[in-house]
Structure 1
Amino acid sequence: MSDTASSAKRKRMDLDPAETLTPTRSKIWMPYGDIILQAESTQFRVNRDVLAQQSSVFKDMFSIPQPPNELTVEGCPIVHMLDTAKDWELLLGVLYDPFQHKDALPFDVLASMLRLMKYEITIAVENATQRIHHEFPEQLDDWDGCESDLTKIEPREEVVADLLNLVYECGITTSIPTVAFCCLRGKLKLEGLLKGLQRPDKSRIILPDEIKQTMAIATERIIDSQHRIFGWLDNDRVIPHVFCTTPSHCTQSLRTMRRAIVLDENDKARYFGLDLWDDEWSDGMCSACGEATKEAFATSHKQFWESLPSFFGFPEWKDLRDVN
């Protein structure tokens, strides 16, 4: 066998399994494109200028002269990407049609924009990161001003579990405490996070064992911290107030308030530390006790926020930094 034949045989044997499949043309196929990106067995015909303008990595790549005998498709050289075809299809869709998602962004698109951050497509990374920071901020005032539902990311019941995986994977550390807390206080619960959750398409969200362990430990820390920080709900430290006009009545109202704050509709412990104050909680109290409980709640609310990162094994808020 000639050296050429042996070399060719070795090349065929060394091919990635995806490359042995017949490439398929994606829906992103620009008629005036001058470069082919191939991810897995899917090819995308795109424009170098578009990629180079958005990505310093591609700009540098395209500045290097290519060998004259390289493989081409319709006259366009092929660049093999070591990423999923799905991620590239979603990211390129954003680059070529940036106005298709003017409001809430689907999670899969958001994830692709971040998973491909190694290509330094700044506009995509910043857009995705800003959306996550908007929904899950690192300042208490911003958190208290957030809508109850997601507004920059398309909401679905289990999307916070997907987001938890994503912020860990992509190093968006400043949002991990609030994303993790939302996973626990919502309908997902710790049991669902440990067993795995089902998406609408029947696929499952599986958290890495390390994150599962972190969430399990955080559960105990949160319950203990709430009991300690909001301890005034269980004693007479705040109520009755020194200027209370109806001590016995206000003391009874405090018990009703505690039940409303601490327990859910099934009389199980809630994760309430980041809840906003509800004026209905102090209904029935005299004005002095009503104001006292509101002030005590605000103080405890702030203290709980300051402790939040520690529940998940992180330092104080001021020391958190995003990796990217």
Structure 2
Amino acid sequence: MVEKRGPVSGLVMTAALALLLAGCSSSDKPDPFAGKGSPKYTKAGPLPKGGGRRHVGKPYQVAGRTYYPTARPKPVEVGMASWYGPKFHRRKTANGEWFDMNYLSAAHKTMPLPSYVRVTNLENGRMVVVRVNDRGPFVGTRIIDLSKAAAARLGYLRKGKAKVKVEYLGPAPLGDDRVLLARLNRMSHAPRQTLIAAVKGRSVPETRPVMVARNERRRSHGAVSEGARIQPASAPGAGGYYVQVASFADPANAEAARARFSRIAPVEIRPVDVTGMRFWRVRLGPFESRSDAEMVLPRVAQAGVADARILVASN
């Protein structure tokens, strides 16, 4: 189980310690994984959202390594992600909020707190927008530690780690951000600049046009041609309804999904470029009506994809 990782997890336990270490030298030899000094929320009921402070912080040391928080983080990072949950649930984060393992949040070593980032699992193409309100992880080359809920969204809860792309979107509000965070996740596949505009409060569409391939040439093994042209979908009913089940960075994984879902309905694999990266979207169909597509959703959920959605596409 992931929770047996002990000190390798993502470190709500260092919340108070991270601030303390800003003024410590390596000669103090603090134990960065002691798990002490982070208060726990003891009141009954759900955890309050927000309520922390804006925080960047001075350089600090953990396990002999110095980290340099910055108000201008890298726009994009690629590396390994881990997750943390029950052991740190309801404890204070580095900026004074309460860690809720069931909320879409994360820990990062140097980003300003709180911030929003989009995280893409490069192994399956899933995306999630999270609130960064803690410091960590401080193990190996991991670049971000997600809450249990966020790791579940990205599909690596059992595995424990995944290679991800992290895109900085901007500062998060200090108050309760549940409405905004839900909106950002409804449009999580939008271009990065669109999400940045939404974070800044600018008016942007909730969703972008569904992108599908036209007149693609299939290879003998069934994958879609890299040269297929991507076109926006037309009006509902023009080309049928589809159930999109997953996206993959590796076309071989898409082919494995084809074999898995072909027992339910015809499977199509189509390429799409998202924020400069190519993914392979697996979808079932076409179906003549939306009701026909909706009848397939329970079987897709039983196969392990609870967040499948219905799309309308052109011929």
Q: Higher strand fraction: Structure 1 or Structure 2?
A: 2
What TM-score do the two structures reach when normalised by structure 1? 0.29
- Computing the radius of gyration from Cα coordinates, the structure with the larger value is 1
Q: Higher helix fraction: Structure 1 or Structure 2?
A: 1
